[in-house]
Amino acid sequence: MTTLFDPIHIGRIAAASRIVMAPLTRNRAGAGGVPPEMAATYYAQRASAGLIVAEATQISAEAQGYIATCGIHTPEQVAGWRRVTDAVHAAGGKIALQLWHVGRISHVSLLGGNAPVSSTARTAAAQTFTLDGMVDVSAPRALRTDEMPRLVADFRHAARNAIAAGFDGIEVHAANGYLLDQFLRDSINDRTDAYGGSIANRCRVVVEIMQAVADEIGADRCGIRLSPVTPFNDAGLDSDTQGLFNHLMGQLAPMKLAFVHVIEGSTGGPRDFAPFDYDALRAIYKGSHPQGTWMLNNGYDRAMAIESVASGRADAIAFGKPFISNPDLVRRLREDAPLAVPDAATMFGGDAKGYIDYPTLDAAAP
Ligand SMILES: Cc1cc2nc3c(=O)[nH]c(=O)nc-3n(C[C@H](O)[C@H](O)[C@H](O)COP(=O)(O)O)c2cc1C
């Protein structure tokens, strides 16, 4: 029987276990969106994860939505990430980068005075974190149809840069109410062009992006993150959530992506937030790609994770908050040791405190 602690090939990536570190934005980037030097320490401390999915990272200047987040579109950012990937690899780990465009979840002060872009010109009822603290997001402008190839090219460029920076793969962020979710859901997307209206049209840009990144770096190094029902960032439920995501998976599955990473329920909240048949989605993916890695996340504890992999409901489980405060989470799960609780006050922004100073079991021992 397969266990949570067994190795797995996530596409081309040989992972030592099925325990994945979920992407975690920490808002500690330096000038120009370059990862801070201490990010190399932070990620290397967590290198015993089967795979680290590094924090959401903007694919272009326009893609930024929060203060002090990292990018992967300039040479300085690539060089900064190289320090991180070298440190993780030296510690025996594997690391992929989450590629991010926030869409309308941004503020003009972060975009040189420009409006955020989205599928729509309607403003989200959401807030973002700027130099002036939490503020309401700015009114977006709808991307023109003739800008869509450039958006796809920005994702492709970011994927190429991620590989140049030494990452083992990439994860496209299509979850949590950010730009790609803003295209998928009819609760947000009010377009009348080829990227709005029907389910096929609303899925179009995500399909084009996944094809582009797969063409660029190989599908066996690409994954996607989805959150079909999350209400995060004013993402109302689609009128046919199951139909939408079943169609999307039907388009993506033949590409044989290395992994599909699904947040069940409300991100960081109730797992049963709204009804959705995740097994049906998995069946569509596995139908075309039986070797693909089906990764689940949200509120997993040790027992749930062990059971999910043992039953075949998941091939891998991603942990978010537990990895913030337990750098040696894999060992703690293996030994059924107690888990440290993360400090909410140091999650977003700050310095080394709450970032690289959480002790391992050995260090914490009296
Ligand atoms: C501090 C923090 C930062 C997060 N940043 C990201 C992110 O960059 N990208 C993303 O897709 N999800 C992000 N999330 C969501 C987590 O990846 C994960 O889905 C969520 O915490 C639920 O998993 P958990 O119960 O294991 O923590 C973040 C969550 C937290 C608490």
Q: What CATH code is carried by the domain that includes residue 186?
A: 3.20.20.70
* Per-residue pLDDT reduced to its tens digit, 323-350: 999 999 999 999 999 999 999 999 999 9
Contact 169, 223 (CB under 8 A): yes
**How many angstroms separate the CA atoms of 305 and 300, rounded?**
6
Q: Who's near 313: CB < 8 A, 6+ residues apart?
A: 279, 282, 296
CB of 323 closer than 6 A to ligand 1? no
In a domain, 194, yes or no: yes
**How many angstroms separate the CA atoms of 53 and 280, rounded?**
25
Q: Which tokens sit at 269?
A: 């909240």
Ligand 1 pocket test, candidate residues 19, 20, 21, 24, most atoms within 8 A of CB? 24
- CA angle 242-245-247, nearest 5°? 105
Taking the centre of ligand 1 as the mean of its atom positions, its distance from the CA of residue 72, in whole angstroms, is 19
Strand partners, 135: 128
Taking the centre of ligand 1 as the mean of its atom positions, its distance from the CA of residue 321, in whole angstroms, is 7
CB of 120 closer than 6 A to ligand 1? no
Round the average pLDDT of the chain to a whole number and report it. Answer: 98
178 is catalytic: yes
**How many angstroms separate the CA atoms of 345 and 348, rounded?**
7
The 10 Å CB-count burial string (b at 16+, else e) for 87-109 is: bbeeeebbbbbbbbbbbbbbbee
Mean pLDDT over residues 208-222, rounded?
A: 99
Contact 151, 172 (CB under 8 A): no
Taking the centre of ligand 1 as the mean of its atom positions, its distance from the CA of residue 23, in whole angstroms, is 6
In a domain, 351, yes or no: yes
The pLDDT of residue 275 is: 97
In a domain, 1, yes or no: no
Tell me which residue range forms the domain holding 258: 8-364
Residue 363 has pLDDT above 90, yes or no: no
In a domain, 43, yes or no: yes
CB of 102 closer than 6 A to ligand 1? no
Q: Which tokens sit at 171?
A: 């994860």
- Out of 178, 278, 355, 358, pick the active-site residue: 178
Taking the centre of ligand 1 as the mean of its atom positions, its distance from the CA of residue 6, in whole angstroms, is 24
Cite the beta strand spans of 71-152 per DSSP E. Answer: 95-100, 117-118, 127-130, 133-136, 141-142
In a domain, 359, yes or no: yes
Q: What percent of the chain has pLDDT over 70?
A: 99
Q: Which atom of ligand 1 is nearest to the CA of 175?
A: 11
Residue 203 DSSP class: H
The pLDDT of residue 184 is: 99
In a domain, 3, yes or no: no
Where on the phi/psi map is residue 265: left (φ > 0), alpha (ψ -120 to 50), or beta? Answer: left
The pLDDT of residue 1 is: 87
Residue ID of nearest Cα to ligand 1 atom 28: 24
CB of 20 closer than 6 A to ligand 1? no
* Per-residue pLDDT reduced to its tens digit, 160-199: 999 999 999 999 999 999 999 999 999 999 999 999 999 9
Q: Which of 99, 107, 39 is nearest to 67 (CA)?
A: 107
In a domain, 203, yes or no: yes
The pLDDT of residue 366 is: 63
Q: How many folded domains does the chain comprise?
A: 1
Residue ID of nearest Cα to ligand 1 atom 25: 299
Residue 251 DSSP class: H
* Per-residue pLDDT reduced to its tens digit, 4-45: 999 999 999 999 999 999 999 999 999 999 999 999 999 999
**How many angstroms separate the CA atoms of 201 and 249, rounded?**
14
Q: Which of 295, 302, 347 is nearest to 321 (CA)?
A: 347
Q: Who's near 134: CB < 8 A, 6+ residues apart?
A: 127, 128
* Per-residue pLDDT reduced to its tens digit, 269-320: 999 999 999 999 999 999 999 999 999 999 999 999 999 999 999 999 999 9
Q: Which of 107, 86, 1 is nearest to 44 (CA)?
A: 86
- The residue type at 288: S
CB of 176 closer than 6 A to ligand 1? yes
In a domain, 2, yes or no: no
CB of 64 closer than 6 A to ligand 1? no
